[in-house]
Amino acid sequence: MEIIVAKDYQDMSEAAADIIAELVSEKPGCVLGLATGSTPEGLYAELVKRYEEEGLDFSRVATFNLDEYRGLSHDHEQSYHYFMQKHLFDHVNVRPENTHVPNGANPDAEAACDAYEASIALSGGVDLQLLGLGHNGHIGFNEPADEFTKETNCVDLTESTIQANSRLFNSADEVPRQAYTMGIGTIMAAKQILLVVSGEDKAQIVRDVFFGPVTPKVPASILQFHPNAIAVVDEAAFSACEEIAEGTCGCGHDHEGGCCC
Ligand SMILES: N[C@@H]1[C@@H](O)[C@H](O)[C@@H](COP(=O)(O)O)O[C@@H]1O
């Protein structure tokens, strides 16, 4: 995994937007896998700026979002569909019919997830998958588990994720208990991965993800095995990794492939 350490949140957002903008310019009909959460808000703002100021063209781009809460309709203010409209889709020239978010309003989990997986396959596959990182190492809504998930599936959210995401709802009671999410297999099938992480509160999990063992207990650790993964993290999020990156953590081993301690 290539790691780019950005100075701060704004710097991280710009560096990540550069990578997406370059792909959209080089391959106007590309398929973008998109993510929600606070972390990518700044990079979406950067993409909107590039559309407005430089004419970055999204008219042939197709998008597939990672996940959606089960039970929330598209127009629910806390749905990820609504989030994407608000932060990106309403402000650039992407065609609505080319944007895809799992259908949280479909109570038939199997049908909703199978349909989503099929539409990703029909698009030819994701060129670049953007990811944020949960405090417990989740990507999409793939929570720590005994094994890696494969395809789009329905998951039970962990209590820590419900608590973390409750800041966007009136109370934790309102946070849906389940979500539809691309599986780890779906994510790993993307040709390129772009992980963005910001803030000191993620420093320990960033260290585990980048340098710890690859395990479904830390779902994002699987990204160590992706052949074309880039992580853009700010200095605060990278702060627990510095000693490893500099090779001064004292274990005496070569850290090129990650650290054992
Ligand atoms: N399902 C989303 C994830 O895709 C996201 O990466 C994570 C972290 O969000 P934030 O960037 O707000 O810390 O939150 C949610 O649980």
pLDDT for res 250 = 46
pLDDT for res 242 = 84
Residue with tokens 């042939």: 60
Is 93 in the active site? no
Is 138 in the active site? yes
Per-10-residue mean pLDDT of the chain, 261 residues long, equals 97 98 98 97 98 98 98 92 97 98 96 97 97 96 95 94 89 94 98 98 97 97 98 97 67 50 46
pLDDT for res 71 = 94
Selected catalytic residue, list 143, 208, 226, 234:
143
Residues 104, 60 contacting (CB under 8 angstroms): no
Is 173 in the active site? no
Closest residue by CA, ligand 1 atom 7: 134
Class of domain 25-128+135-195+221-232: alpha beta
Pocket of ligand 1 (CB under 6 A): 35-39, 66-67, 132-134, 140-141, 161, 165
pLDDT for res 67 = 97
- Taking the centre of ligand 1 as the mean of its atom positions, its distance from the CA of residue 59, in whole angstroms, is 27
Atom of ligand 1 nearest to the CA of 157: 16
CA distance 130 to 246: 27
Is 143 in the active site? yes
Atom of ligand 1 nearest to the CA of 35: 4
Segments making up each domain of the chain, as ranges: 25-128+135-195+221-232
User: Best mutation site among 13, 39, 80 for ligand 1, i.e. most ligand atoms within 8 A of its Cβ?
Assistant: 39
Tell me the pTM. Answer: 0.93
pLDDT for res 243 = 77
pLDDT for res 34 = 98
CA distance 212 to 228: 19
Selected catalytic residue, list 91, 136, 151, 242:
136
